[in-house]
Structure 1
């Protein structure tokens, strides 16, 4: 009962014209900047933080939340249209979204990403608000052994879901682990495989890898073709609303993703990346 009283109080504050307007502005700004490859939600909030200095505290928090959600969703736009993930969790969107764009279905792919993000965000927030105390206790029980088991599960899942050669899939996972070892060890503070290069002490950034693996390869391949054969989907986005068949396929996937995202979002340090790959 206390939950509903708190939610009604919160909605009473949030659902005013002024706060909804600030939320809308934050979503638009966040999406516009989040579309730029490699920036991500954290950098977007850092850049737009001065815009909230003159606002009341509640309106500023609502606008920052809108910026975060807009930037988080904006990464899927470039992932679908140009095969370039805007941030780490959008890598999964590249797998199916870009293939849909190549078949002329970029519009439904963008709509599916938007509707799925909206539904999962709303439900996940309500679940966390309703079950925060017991879920927090569960999160605190996750220690090194549980996190290690979760990582092993993710690696096994990557091998199982990989298409093509099993040997190549294992080789790419090992290469990813080796790249992840570069940087400063969290526990001991010792620099690993940095070769006395200061830029490598923070590790190899995801943005650099994503640009090389997804972005530049696609751009160079496109430029090597004649103008009439180049794949550019930004001018071909039409039929944005999904069909009835699309909704039948979307609903189970959205429900599964919402459940997994809500469960894994509780764990500290996991974030959207772990939830997206698990889903």
Structure 2
């Protein structure tokens, strides 16, 4: 009964006309920001923050939250249509979403993505409502050792995202870790691998890295291929509704992605990006035919999209109930709360029930608004594919340059995205997947920080990672994944040798 009364209180707050207007404005802006490559929710929320000074606290947070999870919806659109990840968490959607668009299934990909996003968001919302105190308690049990082990697990799982060998995937993860080390060391303040370039003191720009590896590299590839002269295919809008087989193929990945995203998003410091990458890796592991991934597998977009949207909802658990931001966006939103005189922490739910439950109910309303906004506009987005490529590619490069420049107002980032685009094209020619590199870059600084913190707390004893039960369990799963990868490689080699021997015997 207490839960129902809390939800009723939240509905009264969220259903006020002015609050609905702010919620709609937030999700609409978030969708647009997600579609435009390179801008992202962080820049949009930072720009909107001064506008919230004269707004009611609840309306302000609901609007900023709408921008945050609205960007998760919009980020997949550019990923599917143009191979440009609107947000870092939607980079993994490029792997199968863009091949689907090239096969004339852009409408289907966008439709399934919208449904998967809604399913993931609602799953995360249910978890947020029912288990917020319990999730906060579990989050408190995660120390530096547990976070380190979990990130090692994520990196090993990421090595399986490549279409080729696991060795290539692992090498890209390591390369991403090395790129993540560029910049100022957090503990000592010493610049590492910056080569006396002042702009590299803060590290490589994440947006420039994602845009270069995916967007610019794809433009260069298309210009150097027959795609430049190929007439864009007309996509029939009636084909966007999935068939019975396609719908059935999306159900289990959607459930698994929603569950994984809900769990990972509730952990401090994890966020939607890691959830999306891990969901994709899991789907590839459990698939009967992993070779379909990277070629337009529908599971390759439903699982990560449901995961990142679920994580976007549950990311508010550690932020509101513990006062620990999951990522930079959550840190800015906590700043907005503090500006309005509201202190995040364990007492927030009891001291500010109208704000907490109004925010929770607004999530449900906002996600329904997003579906109503996104489904009718699928035809509009698909129409982008009818623009001649000779006009589209220069426009893409201009949007990428504007988006990257808008983050720091620094022209160095434009040159960075050009150089990273050339590197991305070289990796594409050599058949190296960029997605594991991006995850290695995202997790690298957090991995190093938690490793050093764990060793400092244990006075240099590495056994701390095995003595703590949660950390030991995560490392055990990591070891099993490595053994499975080795066994799969050996089995594939033996099978190919056996088939070769049979072919030689048949020819003899």
TM over 0.5, shorter chain: yes
Corresponding residue for residue 159 of structure 1: 159
Q: CA contact under 8 A between 2:71 and 2:87: conserved in structure 1?
A: no
In 2, Cα distance between equivalents of 1:14 and 1:266: 23
Distance in 2, matches of 1:118 and 1:237, equals 24
Where does 1:127-276 land on structure 2 (aligned, <5 Å)?
127-224=127-224, 225=226, 227-229=228-230, 236=235, 238-239=237-238, 240-276=240-276
Residue 229 of structure 1: SS of its match in structure 2? coil
> Shift of the alpha carbon at 1:180?
1.0
**Structure-2 change in CA distance of 1:228 and 1:161 (3 Å):** closer
Change (3 A) 1:146 1:6: same
SS of equivalent residue, structure 1 residue 262: helix
Specify the alignment match of 1:13 in structure 2: 13
Aligned residues of 2:30 and 2:71 also touching (Cα < 8 A): yes
Shift in CA distance, 143/187, structure 1 to aligned 2, threshold 3 Å = farther
Q: In angstroms, what is the RMSD of aligned CA positions?
A: 2.2
Counterparts of 2:68 and 2:35, CA distance in 1: 12
Aligned to 2:425: none
The 2-side partners of 1:177 and 1:227 are apart by 34
Answer whether contact 2:156 2:170 (CA < 8 A) is retained: no
In the TM superposition, what whole-angstrom CA distance separates every residue of 1:78-118 from its partner, at most 9, and x where no partner exists? Answer: 10000111121111111111111111111121122222112
> Residue 183 and residue 160 in structure 1: after superposition, are their counterparts in 2 closer, same or farther (change >3 A)?
same
Seen in structure 2, the aligned counterparts of structure 1 residues 112 and 180 have a Cα distance that, compared at 3 Å, is: same
Instruction: Work out which structure has the larger RCO, using CA pairs closer than 8 Å and 6 or more positions apart in sequence.
Output: 2
- Cα 1:50–1:114 shift into 2, 3 Å: farther
Deviation, 1:31, is 1.0
Q: Distance in 2 between matches of 1:159 and 1:68?
A: 28
CA distance in 1, matches of 2:188, 2:131: 35
Q: 1:106 to 1:198 in 2, by over 3 A?
A: same
How many residues align structurally? Answer: 277
Name the SS for the 2:237 alignment partner. Answer: coil
Q: Which residue matches 2:397?
A: none
Q: Distance in 2 between matches of 1:3 and 1:252?
A: 29
Structure 2 partner of 1:64: 64
Higher gyration radius (CA): 2
Quote the Cα distance in structure 2 between the aligned partners of 1:119 and 1:162: 27
Query: How far apart are residue 165 of structure 1 and its match?
Result: 2.7
Q: Work out whether residues 34 and 75 of structure 1, in 8 Å CA contact, stay in contact via their aligned partners in 2.
A: yes
Q: Say if 2:81 and 2:98, in contact at 8 Å, map to a contact too.
A: yes
Aligned counterpart, 1:124: 124
2:393 maps to what in 1? none
1:70 & 1:278 partners in 2: Cα distance? Answer: 21
Quick one: distance in 2 between partners of 1:77 and 1:66? 17
CA distance in 2, matches of 1:34, 1:218: 19
Structure 2: segments with no counterpart, 5+ residues: 280-508
Mapped partners of 2:87, 2:49: distance in 1: 19
Which secondary structure state, in structure 2, belongs to the residue aligned with residue 104 of structure 1? coil
Aligned 8 A contact 1:162 1:169 in 2: yes
CA distance in 2, matches of 1:236, 1:17: 39
Asked if 2 retains the 8 angstrom alpha-carbon contact of 1:52 and 1:63, the reply is: no
**Contact 2:52/2:60 (8 A) holds in 1:** yes
Counterpart in the other structure of 1:93: 93
What is the CA–CA distance in structure 2 between the aligned matches of 1:170 and 1:59, rounded to whole Å? 45
